[in-house]
Amino acid sequence: MASTEEIRSSLAEIVNEIAGIPVEDVQLDKSFTDDLDVDSLSMVEVVVAAEEKFSVKIPDDEVKNLKTVGDAVAFIERAQNG
């Protein structure tokens, strides 16, 4: 089971690869759209990459609720814990 920090770190690497955002900028309190300038197309790519990386399914209707990096980390933690 990955820790919150491990998930955040892996998510930061994904966001960096897809959107070019520096890894150190991807913190739990950052908004994907407002702080990190991740557009909706890039967000879809981030979700797909996260699903593969963490072996979880993020339903389309949940994606809109993942406003911050912390939201995404919490969702992944819940999904992994079943």
- Contact yes or no for 44/76 (Cβ under 8 A): no
Whether this prediction's pTM lies above 0.85 is answered by yes
CB 72 within 8 A of CB 6: no
Q: Which pLDDT tens digit goes with each residue over 42-52? A: 999 999 999 99
What span, in angstroms and rounded, lies between the C-alpha atoms of 57 and 21? 24
3-class DSSP assignment, residue 68: strand
Q: Which whole number is the average pLDDT over 27-34? A: 98
Task: For domain 4-80, give the CATH number.
Answer: 1.10.1200.10
In tens, the pLDDT along 32-72 reads 999 999 999 999 999 999 999 999 999 999 999 999 999 99
Cβ count near 50 (within 10 Å): 23
Q: Computed from CA positions of residues 36, 55, 17, 23, in that sequence, does the dihedral angle turn out positive or negative?
A: positive
User: What are the sequence ranges of the domains in the chain?
Assistant: 4-80
